[in-house]
Amino acid sequence: MSPTASSPASSAPIALHDRFGRAIDYLRISLTDRCNLRCAYCMPTEGLSFAPDAELLDAAEIETVVRAAAELGFRKVRLTGGEPLLRTDVVDIVRRIAAVDGIADISLTTNGIRLPQLAAPLKAAGLRRVNVHIDTLQPENLKRLMRWGRLEDLWAGLGAAEAAGLVPIKVNAVIARGFNDEDVVGLAALSLDHDWTVRFIELMPLGSGQESRFAIDRYVPNHEVKARIVAALGPLEALPNADLADESRNFRLAGAPGRVGFISPVSEPYCGTCNRMRLTADGKLHLCLLHDDELDLRAALRGGGGPEALRAILARAVAAKPTGHALNRGIHTEARRMHAIGG
């Protein structure tokens, strides 16, 4: 099926559909490839190079892209990194996106370290909610896996997000064998005391660095994580997904205000309902998280291309979106590490 959309002048454009019939209406925008942590499955501690500031899309350019996307039927925007809160103009970026007609939801994924300073301004600017990344509640294991992170800083970020009304909160945890696979019960138990969704994410190999090898060697399928939680905390009641494109399969422990979710791209791929397009910090449309295919939006932006040119590139990107990943054949992205894609 070729992509179609109503006229940009329409008050309610129809989302673009890719050649597999998926409605693509969710744009994930990486603001930077830098991070203030060095998680073992994402970034090495040395030998990294980052995109120069001049190559990153600025706030006005991001707004221009979002306006073009909204005219094609995109409705959701998520800001990612690296760590998006390292951008000094992040509040301005949120404010600009919130003012775009047609964008119904703006969210952000963060490690939470800078949320005590930024949660309230981000909420005032129009941010709706956040996902906060915490891989374990055990300080020593956290130091091994998230390396430069401190539990008290991550916990303070969660508290700041909740106080600012950036809800519903999702807590993301990537599970690695021998690092935090025995800590999942404590994380899941957070849902017994908080109205949060605690989500367990399978490791994925991205890039050609040591962290890709780590993801392969330390992979834990989510059925093991779920079994460990059930054995310790009791049965999990399956919950229906309000959005069929939600990558998480969600459950509830008895009496819990919160939820437990499982994101299983390796053992239970959800490519058939994917509604996402990714924009890297340096202005490339990355067509699938686990493929290297990209189209250059920045060149059009800085080469004088107007809204029509941007819409044409976005439509081409949707038309070229792969059907899914090929992890079962040992194929994954090589050109970019996870921190340079945006998750």
Residue 332 has pLDDT above 80, yes or no: no
β-bridge mates for residue 24, sequence order: 16
Instruction: Report the pLDDT averaged over residues 254-277.
Output: 93
Residue 54 has pLDDT above 80, yes or no: yes
Q: How many whole angstroms separate alpha carbon 38 and alpha carbon 146?
A: 6
Instruction: Report the pLDDT averaged over residues 7-31.
Output: 82
User: What would the pLDDT profile of 270-328 be if each residue is shown by its tens digit?
Assistant: 888 899 999 999 999 988 866 777 899 999 999 988 899 999 999 999 999 988 766 66
Residue 66 has pLDDT above 80, yes or no: yes
Residue 10 has pLDDT above 50, yes or no: no
Residue 334 has pLDDT above 70, yes or no: no
Q: Which residues contact 29 (CB under 8 A, 6 or more apart)?
A: 62, 65, 66, 77, 78, 79, 80, 278, 279, 342
282 contacts 335 by C-beta, under 8 angstroms: no
Domain range list for the chain: 16-340
User: What would the pLDDT profile of 102-128 be if each residue is shown by its tens digit?
Assistant: 999 999 999 999 999 999 999 999 999
Residue 8 has pLDDT above 50, yes or no: no
Q: How many whole angstroms separate alpha carbon 324 and alpha carbon 190?
A: 33
The SS3 assignment for 41 reads: coil
Q: How many whole angstroms separate alpha carbon 275 and alpha carbon 192?
A: 31
Q: Strands, E, within 169-244: which ranges?
A: 170-175, 197-202, 236-238
Residue 11 has pLDDT above 90, yes or no: no
The H-or-E segment that residue 278 falls in is: strand 276-279
- Looking at residue 333, its pLDDT comes to 65
Q: Which CATH number fits domain 16-340: 3.20.20.150, 3.20.20.70, 3.30.70.60, 3.40.50.620?
A: 3.20.20.70
Going by C-alpha positions, the residue among 29, 18, 16, 70 that lies closest to residue 321 is 18
- What's the Cα-to-Cα distance from 304 to each of 17, 191, 301, rounded to whole Å? 27, 50, 6
Q: How many whole angstroms separate alpha carbon 141 and alpha carbon 178?
A: 9
Work out the pLDDT band at 33, boundaries 50, 70, 90: very high
More confident: 160 or 335:
160
Instruction: Report the pLDDT averaged over residues 241-255.
Output: 91
β-bridge mates for residue 276, sequence order: 26
Q: What is the largest CA-CA distance in the chain?
A: 59
With a pLDDT cut of 70, the percent of the chain lying above it is 90
Residue 15 has pLDDT above 90, yes or no: no
From the number of C-beta atoms within 10 Å of its C-beta (0-12, 13-18, 19+), residue 133 rates as buried
- Looking at residue 118, its pLDDT comes to 98
